[in-house]
């Protein structure tokens, strides 16, 4: 990996962290440059525009999410173990402030009615996320673990809601009980699709 590429990666690592805390709009070139130890212009040369920087940051966050949440889940046996691993990893990622998931959560409200490439990327990644969950459910149905009439998209949306509620409540209220409630909600949602 050349010097440029490694610098770029280091910058993106910092960028994801900032974006997770301050939001994608709050990710400013000046502050990012300072945090990354580069000059504004030096950093800017790597991306060319703010939009490109935002896109790259979202992409980096996505990669981290895939590596730290999705892939470990896919390494588990299909059905409930896979789904549970996915949920568990996603949950602790949110709790511990892993930039990946949080970037999306912070970014979505900012861009949800502000057309552009960033919004398109967020929407596309979000769809992928929900699809991934749906496919895990589908696999569980094929395995006979889940009811044949279970609705994968329904479960995906419910799971997303469980994590979202946990994220907001935990981040804002700092109440550890929210984590327990999230797990309980997950178990309940799973119960409803489990084969009798």
Partner DNA sequence: CGATTGACCGACCGATCGTGCTACTGTCGC
Partner DNA sequence: GCGACAGTAGCACGATCGGTCGGTCAATCG
Residues that bind a copy of itself (CB under 8 A): 21-23, 25-26, 102, 105-106, 108-110, 112-114, 119, 122-123, 126-127, 130, 151, 153-154, 157-158, 160-166, 168-169, 171-173, 177-178, 181-182, 184-185, 188, 192
Closest to a copy of itself by CB, 7 vs 157, is 157
From the list DNA, a copy of itself, none, partner contacted by residue 2 (C-beta under 5 to 8 A by kind): DNA
The tokens describing 106, both together, are 């912070």
Closest to DNA by CB, 25 vs 164, is 25
From the list DNA, a copy of itself, none, partner contacted by residue 28 (C-beta under 5 to 8 A by kind): DNA
- Given a contact cutoff of 8 angstroms between Cβ atoms, the answer to whether 53 and 29 are in contact is yes
Using CB under 7 A as the binding criterion, the count of chain residues that bind DNA stands at 24
Which run of H or of E encompasses 105?
helix 99-111
The residue within the footprint of DNA, chosen from 7, 35, 132, 157 (CB under 7 A), is 7
- Given a contact cutoff of 8 angstroms between Cβ atoms, the answer to whether 12 and 62 are in contact is no
Count the residues in the chain.
Answer: 196
CB of 23 vs DNA, minimal distance in Å: 11
Q: How far is CA 91 from CA 9, 29, 87, 108, in A?
A: 25, 30, 6, 18
**Secondary structure of residue 147 in the 3-state scheme:** coil
The rounded distance, in Å, linking the Cα atoms of 120 and 37 is: 31
Site track 20-59 with DNA (rule: CB under 7 A), x = hit: -------xxxxx-----xxxxxxxxxx-xxxx--------
> How far from each other are the two terminal CA atoms of the chain, in whole angstroms?
53
User: Which residues form the interface with DNA (CB under 7 A)?
Assistant: 2-5, 7, 27-31, 37-46, 48-51
């Amino acid at each position: 990996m050349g010097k440029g590429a490694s610098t770029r990666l280091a910058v993106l690592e910092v960028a994801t962290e900032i974006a997770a805390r301050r939001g994608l709009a709050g990710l400013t070139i000046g502050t990012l440059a300072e945090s990354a130890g580069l000059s504004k212009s030096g950093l800017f040369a790597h991306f060319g525009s703010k939009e490109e920087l935002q896109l790259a940051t979202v992409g980096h966050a996505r990669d981290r999410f895939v590596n730290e949440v999705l892939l470990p889940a896919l390494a588990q046996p299909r059905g409930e173990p896979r789904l549970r691993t996915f949920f568990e990893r996603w949950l602790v990622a949110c709790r511990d402030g892993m930039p990946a998931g949080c970037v999306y959560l912070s970014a979505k409200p900012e861009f949800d009615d502000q057309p552009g490439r960033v919004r398109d990327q967020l929407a596309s990644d979000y769809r992928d996320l929900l699809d991934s969950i749906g496919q895990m459910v589908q696999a569980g149905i094929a395995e006979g673990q889940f009811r044949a009439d279970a609705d994968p998209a329904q479960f995906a949306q419910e799971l997303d809601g469980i994590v979202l509620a946990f994220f907001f409540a935990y981040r804002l209220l700092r109440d550890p009980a929210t984590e327990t409630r999230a797990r309980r909600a997950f178990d309940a949602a799973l119960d409803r699709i489990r084969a009798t």
